[in-house]
Amino acid sequence: MSNIASKLFRYEALLNAIEVFTQKFSLDQICNFAFEFTNEVLTLHASMLFVKQGDDFVSVRQKLYPFENYRIENSERLERIATFHGKSIRNRFELFFAPKDIDYLTIRFVIPLIIHDTLYGFIISDGKILGELDDDDYDVANKLMSLVNHSLENSKQFADLQAKNQLLDQTNFNLFMINQSTKALLSEVTLDKLYANAIDVFSEVSRSAVTSLGIYDEWSDTIKIRGYRDVFSHSKQYAELQLHKQIDSGHKIVLSMEHDQDIIQSIFVNWQQFAVLRAKYIVLIVKDRVIGFVTLSESVDHHDYDESYFQLIESLASATYIAVNNALLFDEISAQKKTLEQKYNTLNNLNKLVNTINHCDNQEEICYLTLRTLHLSFGIKKAFICFKKNGFYLIEHAIGAELHQERFVLSDPWQKTFDGDTVFEYTTASAHDFFNDAELVESFGNTNCIVISPLLFHNPSAYPGQEPEGFLVILETKDILKEEEVLLIDTIAKNISPILRQIKLTDAVKERYVEDVSKKFLAILAEKIRNREQYQIEFYLYYRKIERNPFQAIDPNTYPGLETYFINPYLFVLTYEPLADPQFKEIPRIQTALDLLQYPFI
C-alpha cells in the first residue's frame, strides 16, 4: 500500500508540475520551481541549484548544504551534458564534473536544466533522505527534467520573441521618427529654423540632457556648432572644432569620451571643446569625409544609450545634413534669382534710357535724363557731367551736391581715360587722387567711390592722347560699388557720347544757319533804346521765369498781341503800353542792351 501511495503522490506531483510548467514564467522562476518540485517528488537530502552566470555556474538555491555560495567552472566536459547526454546523471560523474567538485559537494545525482542544446544550469544532490535512488526515481526525474526543460525552452523562446517584438517596435518607431523628422527638416529652407528644429529632434529622441549639432564649414575648414540645447537651462554654447585629418568610411562612427579618447584626439585638434559641450558620446556624420557630428550627454532619465539610439541619431543627422545642403542651395538659388532680376531691371532701365536719349533734342535734356535715371533706377547718390570749356572742365549738370558751374583742370590720373577707358576706385578718399582743388573736393561732401567715364566726341585711335570733350563722374553710390555698376556707367557714357557729339554738330550748324533768338532780342532792344533816345518813343520791358521740364516747349501763341522772346529760362515781353499781368516783372529803364546782361533776375 505504501508503494501505491508513493506512486500516487508522485503522479499527483507530476500533474501539478505539468500545470505549473505549462504557464508563462521567467527562467529564474522556472528554475526555482524545478528545484522545489525535485526536492519534493524525489525527497532529496541536500541539494543545490546552479545557474550559468557569465562563464561559470553559480549556486542560487541550496538545501541542507553547510554553505550557500559555490561556483563550478564551466568546461567542455560540462557542456557535453546538453549535447551528448541530455538526461539525469546518477553515476560516472567524473565524465562531466571535476573531482574536487564531486568530492566537496558529495554529488550522487544531477538533473540538467537544458535549453535546446545549451546547458542553462543543473540541480545536484547527495542522495535521498531515506534509501538510495532507484530506477523509479530516475524515471520520474527524467520526466520532470523533460517537463522543466520544455518549460525553459518555451520561456526562452517567449522572451526572445518579446525581445524581437520590442526591437521591431523600436525599429518601427525609429523609422516613423526618421520619416516624420526628415519630412519636417527637408521642408524647412531657413537655416536658423532648420538648426533649431534639428536640435529639438535630437534632444527629444535621445532624451539627452545636453545636445549639440556641429556642421562642417568649408570657408573656415572647421566644424561649427549650429545647434545647442540644455534641457535644464537656457544657456547657449558655441565652439569651432578643427580637424586633424579626414577619416575613412570604415572608421568607428560612435565615439565615447571615456573609452575612445585616442580616436577623438586623432581627429580633432581642439578636442577639449567637447568638455564645454558636456559630451559623453560623439556621433560622427561621415560621407567621404567628416561633415559634422551630434554630441549627447547623460540622459535626463539616466538610461543607457543602445545601438538603436545611435543608429537613429546617425540617420537623423544625415537627414539634417541633406536638409542643410538643400537650404544652402535654396539660399544660393534665391540669391542668383535676385541677382538675375536686378540685372534684368538694370538692362531694362538702361534700354529705356537709351531709347529716351535717342529722341532728345539738346545736351541739357540728355544730361538731365542721364543723371535722373542713374539716381532713381541705379542707386547713384552723387554724380556730375562736365564739358571742356576754354582749357578747363565746367560742371554743367550735377545731382546730390551743389556743383553747378564749378570748374577744374585735369591732373595726371585722368590721362588713363584719354583712350576711352573708364577708371574707378572703391575708397572714400579716391576723390583726392583725381582733384587737386581741395575746396572743390570739400564741396563734394561724403563720397564712397569714384568712377570717371569719358565722353568722347572723337575716335581715340585716330587722335591718341587727346583730352575727352567731357566726363560722367560718379562720387557716391547707395551701396558698395559693384563691378556691374562700373560696366553700366561705362555703357551709358559710350551711348550718350555719339548723341552729344551729334547735338554739338547740329548746334554748330544751327548757330551758322539758324537765327539766334538772344542775339535778335538784344539787337531789337538796342534799336528801341535808340528810338527812345532820338524820337522819345517810350517802351516797357517785362520778364517772367518759366519753370518747365526739358521736353516742354513754349507756345508763342500763349501771349497774342505781345512781342515775346524766350531765352531759357526767361520769357521777355516788349510793349509800348504797361502790362497788367502780375506774373511778369518790369525791368527798370536801361541805357544799353548790354545792361540787361548785368540785371539781377529773380
Asked if 366 and 360 count as a contact pair (C-beta separation under 8 A), the reply is: yes
199 and 316, same domain (yes or no): yes
Which pLDDT does position 555 carry in this prediction? 62
Mean pLDDT calculated for residue range 291-298: 86
Question: Which of 463, 486, 508 is at the close of a domain?
Answer: 508
For the chain, give the percent of residues with pLDDT over 70. Answer: 94
Residue 291 has pLDDT above 70, yes or no: yes
- Residue 349 lies inside a defined structural domain of this protein: no
Flag whether pLDDT at 126 surpasses 80: yes
- Average confidence (pLDDT) over 284-288: 79
Residues 256 and 308 in one domain: yes
Asked if residue 504 and residue 393 are part of one domain, the reply reads yes
Residue 1 in this model has a pLDDT that exceeds 60: no
Q: What is the pLDDT of residue 249?
A: 44
Environment class of 292 (CB within 10 Å of its CB; exposed 0-12, middle 13-18, buried 19+): buried
Considering the domain boundaries, does residue 453 fall inside one? yes
Mean pLDDT of all residues in 175-204:
81
Instruction: Decide: residue 226, CB within 10 A, 0-12 exposed, 13-18 middle, 19+ buried.
Output: buried
The 10 Å Cβ neighbour count of residue 318 is 17
Task: Give the residue from 461, 483, 508 where a domain finishes.
Answer: 508
Compute the distance between CA of residue 441 and CA of residue 408 in angstroms, rounded to an integer.
10
Is 44 in the same domain as 124? yes
Number of domains, the chain: 4
Same domain assignment for residues 326 and 197: yes
Q: What is the CATH number of the domain that holds 236?
A: 3.30.450.40
- pLDDT band of 49, cuts 50, 70, 90: very high
Determine the structural domain holding residue 11 and report its residue range: 1-160
Residue 484 sits in the same domain as residue 364: yes
485-528 pLDDT per residue, tens: 888 889 888 888 888 888 888 777 776 776 677 888 888 888 98
Dist CA 482 CA 478 (whole Å)? 11
Cell of 1: 500500500
In a domain, 395, yes or no: yes
Contacts with 295 (C-beta within 8 Å, 6 or more apart), sequence order: 210, 211, 212, 214, 274, 277, 278, 279, 280, 281, 282, 283
As a whole number of angstroms, the distance between CA 172 and CA 165 comes to: 10
Tell whether 411 and 464 lie within a shared domain. yes
pLDDT of 248 reads 54
- 301 is a domain residue: yes
Co-location of 376 and 487 in the same domain? yes
d(CA 294, CA 314): 8
Torsion, Cα of 345, 350, 351, 353 (10° steps): 130
Return left, alpha or beta for 386; rule: phi > 0 is left, psi -120 to 50 is alpha, else beta: beta
The answer to whether residues 244 and 381 belong to one domain is no
Domain assignment present for residue 347? The answer is no
Answer yes or no: is 173 within a domain: no
Asked if 500 and 562 sit in the same domain, the reply is no
If one compares 350 and 57, the residue with the highest pLDDT of the two is 57
When mean pLDDT is compared across 216-220, 249-253, 337-341, 386-390, the lowest value belongs to 249-253
What average pLDDT is seen over the chain? Answer: 84
Summarize pLDDT for 77-91 with one digit per residue, the tens: 888 888 888 788 888
- What is the average pLDDT across 24-42? 86
Identify the pLDDT of residue 246.
60
Query: Does some domain include residue 123?
Result: yes
Residue 440 lies in a domain: yes
Asked which of 508, 539, 557 is the last residue of a domain, the reply is: 508
pLDDT of residue 497: 87
Q: Which three cell numbers stand for residue 368?
A: 538731365
How are beta strands 450-455 and 56-63 bridged, if at all? unpaired
297 and 368 co-located in one domain: no
**319 has a pLDDT exceeding 50:** yes
Confidence of residue 551 (pLDDT cuts 50, 70, 90): low
Task: Verify that 30 and 138 share a domain, yes or no.
Answer: yes
Name the percent of the chain lying above pLDDT 90: 9
